Amino acid sequence: MQQIYGNTTGLSPHAVRLLERIYRRKVPLDHVATPELVKSLAEASHVTGRQVGALVHRSGEIDYVIVGDATKLMLPDIGRLRAAEGRFRALRLVHTHLYNEQLTRDDIVDLVRLRLDLVAAIQLSPEGEAKTIDLAYNTPPSPVAEGEDPRNGLPYRRVGPLPVGRIDIHFGELISALEDEFARRSRIFTHAKDGRAILVHVAEKSKQGAYAEAEDSLRELAELSRTAGVEVVDNVVQLREKIDPRLVVGKGKLDDIVLRAAELDAATLVFDRNLTPSQASAISKHADLKVIDRTQLILDIFAQRAESADGKLQVELAQLKYALPRLALKDDSLSRLTGGIGGRGPGETKLEIGRRRAKERVSFLEAQLKKLSRQREQRRRKRARKDVPIVSIVGYTNAGKSTLLNTLTGSDTIAENKLFATLDTRSRRIRFPEEREVIITDTVGFIRELPKDLFAAFRATFEEAADADLILHVVDASDPAHDQHIATTEELLGELGLSSIPRILVFNKIDLIEKGEARRLLFGNKSAVLVSATNRETTRALLATIADRLKDRWEQARTVPAYDVDEDEAQAGEGEAADAAPVEPESSLTTLAELTADKRYRRTTLRV
């Protein structure tokens, strides 16, 4: 007895026999549907008063017979897509429409989302006779010319309605040609290393400034995606009365996004919010696309860019804490009992084993991070005994903190026009006139809605700033959302307990804004300093301000004697300050001195 899928409630024995008889039909590869199959579907649909469909395999066998209701058909889980690039599902859907309807939007979404070979709808007369057939199949996206809207083309083609029995399409040749073209186009379209993605922003209408916030937030999400290696092909914004608790955007909008993804050959949806495990799972199942939320995207960037052992441990810890509640939704096999030798008896599910091992790894990583934190604390105490003031550079990600450190100290730490280019603290020494020295430390950038687990994991990294005598709060003056960036940074500094440390507001990238805008920045923040971190000459005022703020601190210390590098500190690596013998200052009063050649330290001499 063959299984009937879908809405089988209330079917008469006669109707069940008619539905089971459909499995006996065979469809040659050169036909979309045979007259016998069309007749069987029409008869079963007329008797049941419901839509009836068959998923036909390319071998000619009927794999699934599905019955719906009067207006729609719910397809069963038909498994994963074939692995080969550009391939379809090797299944075509042939089904009936009771009210002389042509292909509906749901039919098209199923075609595109499930990558079916073809979808055909048979229009029935009131007497239950098949009159016409309407069909559609997937078509590959075309390369977009420069300046052309990438949404011009549809990801499918419709044919018909045609009279039943007069379909002159050779199905096998059509599908073979389409798959070859899809495989060829997919190689052309994939530019970014991690593929193409659509960004999705959802917010409530009642929220004040929702439209402006959506624009700023999507711009930041696009930068995060670019840093992660994803090519952004489109943005989708939806403002709702209330966020859908299951699919976030609602079924209709999600269907539109699925079609848009097919048009643009995008395989990933990046949501500009944090999704619950159940939401991510539901969206992924409905869209049949990879679904990433904001936290997962940031974690991926951190995983790519972490260099030090400390940074890698912190990222792994945050990823495990993020993944733990999602283990049960990763794979159905995780819920099955293990079997065989060692698996008999009361047993333990694969899911429980996975969770236990993940929790053991979390405990191990937390212990390792505490150990590394104690080592950093010891190094900071040694540095404090030498009585050298510490200046920490903090600010929003990609504000130019690393570039400023390089310009002030003549160092060559990594500085890129990407978000989170710096994940490890880096310290360099700088000497002012009269043998006065300062350690300047670069830190990880902040970002709005920083993932809780990631913030907790990297909290130890910000301990460098906790011992600072002065904080340089660097802001990208060219970013339209710089006011929000300032507020976010101030809020995070408060959470870290650093609000009481004196700080200087530094507006960076002034070369990218108008002079009038620069004056407005100073009018609102009279004590702020304007710099362009790529131009050394613009940092004179900042150096003078630093010297003025640290004057009392230097007076307390009086003088800073020369000393040798401590063995522990010399082995601290790239992220720690190193020391060496003093460097004679240059006679110039306006420029930075050349970096010394000794590889064991980096020190710059200044004249302000």
pLDDT in tens, 488-522: 999 888 888 888 899 999 999 999 988 888 888 88
Name the nearest CA neighbour of 500 among 467, 464, 461. 467
* pLDDT value, residue 43: 94
Q: Which of 268, 292, 316 is the last residue of a domain?
A: 292
- Percent of the chain, pLDDT > 90? 27
Vertex 143, ends 141 and 148: CA angle to 5°?
105
Res. 572: pLDDT tops 50: no
Biggest CA-to-CA distance, the chain: 104
* pLDDT value, residue 560: 45
How many angstroms from the chain centroid is the CA of residue 268? 9
507 in the same domain as 568: yes
Name the nearest CA neighbour of 428 among 556, 577, 281. 577
The string of pLDDT tens digits covering residues 257-296 is 988 888 887 888 999 998 988 898 899 888 888 898 988 8
364 in the same domain as 392: no
CA distances in angstroms from 217 to 200, 254, 294, 296, 466, listed in the order given: 10, 20, 11, 16, 30
Kindly indicate the confidence band of residue 19, based on its pLDDT and cuts at 50, 70 and 90: very high
Q: Give the DSSP H or E segment for 182.
A: helix 171-189
Residue 391 has phi, psi (to 5 degrees) of: -115, 120
* pLDDT value, residue 343: 37
Handedness of CA 58, 59, 64, 65 (dihedral sign): positive
Residue 37, domain member (yes or no): yes
Residue 297, domain member (yes or no): no
178 in the same domain as 318: no
Residue 230, domain member (yes or no): yes
Residue 299, domain member (yes or no): no
* pLDDT value, residue 85: 61
Most confident of 63-67, 436-440, 456-460: 63-67
Res. 453: pLDDT tops 80: no
* Structure-model confidence comparison of residues 490 and 375, the more confident one: 490
Cis peptide before 161 (omega within 30 of 0): yes
Average pLDDT over residues 388-399: 89
* pLDDT value, residue 100: 77
364 in the same domain as 391: no
CA distances in angstroms from 351 to 12, 271, 278, 280, 453, listed in the order given: 42, 27, 16, 18, 22
451 in the same domain as 579: yes
- Percent of the chain, pLDDT > 70? 78
CA distances in angstroms from 139 to 11, 143, 349, listed in the order given: 38, 13, 43
The string of pLDDT tens digits covering residues 78-137 is 876 654 566 888 999 999 998 878 898 889 988 988 889 999 999 998 888 899 999 999
* pLDDT value, residue 143: 54
The string of pLDDT tens digits covering residues 197-234 is 999 999 888 777 677 788 888 998 998 888 888 889 89
CA atoms within 13 A on the CB side of 387: 14
Average pLDDT over residues 408-432: 76
Which residues, 6+ apart, have CB-to-CB distance to 396 below 8 Å?
A: 445, 446, 447, 475, 476, 479, 485, 488, 489
Q: How far apart are CA 390 and CA 566, in angstroms?
A: 18
383 in the same domain as 364: no
Q: Is 55 exposed, middle or buried (0-12, 13-18, 19+ CB in 10 A)?
A: buried
The total of structural domains in the chain comes to 4
Q: Which of 244, 268, 292 is the last residue of a domain?
A: 292
Q: How far apart are CA 410 and CA 281, in angstroms?
A: 49
Neighbour order of strands in the sheet with 118-124: 4-6, 62-67, 52-57, 91-97, 118-124, 130-138, 156-163
The string of pLDDT tens digits covering residues 357-366 is 888 888 888 8
* pLDDT value, residue 373: 75
Kindly indicate the confidence band of residue 236, based on its pLDDT and cuts at 50, 70 and 90: very high
Q: Which long-range contacts (CB under 8 A, 24 or more apart) does 453-456 make?
A: 453/317, 453/318, 453/321, 453/322, 454/295, 454/298, 454/299, 454/302, 454/315, 454/318, 455/492, 456/318
Residue 20 neighbours by CB distance under 10 Å: 15
Which residues, 6+ apart, have CB-to-CB distance to 204 below 8 Å?
A: 210, 239, 240, 241, 242, 243
Residue 298, domain member (yes or no): no
* pLDDT value, residue 562: 43
* pLDDT value, residue 345: 43
CA distances in angstroms from 25 to 19, 39, 57, 59, 146, listed in the order given: 11, 11, 12, 12, 49
Res. 594: pLDDT tops 50: no
* pLDDT value, residue 321: 85
389 in the same domain as 482: yes
> Of 29-33, 68-72, 134-138, 576-580, which range is least confident?
576-580
* pLDDT value, residue 470: 92
Q: Which of 189, 216, 246 is the last residue of a domain?
A: 189
Ranges of H-type helices in 324-451: 350-385, 401-409
Q: How far apart are CA 357 and CA 327, in angstroms?
A: 12
Name the nearest CA neighbour of 116 among 100, 97, 102, 95. 95
Residue 592, domain member (yes or no): yes
Asked if 460 and 373 count as a contact pair (C-beta separation under 8 A), the reply is yes
Residue 155, domain member (yes or no): yes
Task: Please report, for the domain that includes residue 473, its CATH number.
Answer: 3.40.50.300
Extended strands (E) in 486-558: 503-508, 529-530
Kindly indicate the confidence band of residue 473, based on its pLDDT and cuts at 50, 70 and 90: very high
* Structure-model confidence comparison of residues 86 and 437, the more confident one: 437
Count of helices and strands (H, E) across the chain: 18, 18
DSSP string, 519-536: HHHHHH-TT-EE--TT-G
The model's pTM = 0.72
Q: How far apart are CA 245 and CA 567, in angstroms?
A: 57
Res. 141: pLDDT tops 50: yes
Asked if 185 and 262 count as a contact pair (C-beta separation under 8 A), the reply is no
* pLDDT value, residue 506: 94
Q: Which residue has the tokens 């404090």?
A: 384
DSSP helix/strand/coil, 555: helix
328 in the same domain as 247: no
587 in the same domain as 523: yes
* pLDDT value, residue 332: 42
DSSP helix/strand/coil, 265: coil
List the domain range (segments joined by +) for residue 23.
4-189
Vertex 250, ends 244 and 256: CA angle to 5°?
155
Most confident of 32-41, 180-189, 191-200, 298-307: 32-41
363 in the same domain as 230: no
Residue 239, domain member (yes or no): yes
* pLDDT value, residue 65: 94
111 in the same domain as 131: yes
Q: How far apart are CA 138 and CA 34, in angstroms?
A: 21
CA distances in angstroms from 258 to 27, 122, 233, 565, listed in the order given: 30, 25, 13, 60
* pLDDT value, residue 63: 93
Res. 566: pLDDT tops 50: no
* pLDDT value, residue 318: 84
Residue 307 has phi, psi (to 5 degrees) of: -115, -45
Core vs surface per residue 25-40: b (16+ CB within 10 A) or e: bebeeebbbbeebbeb
468 in the same domain as 448: yes
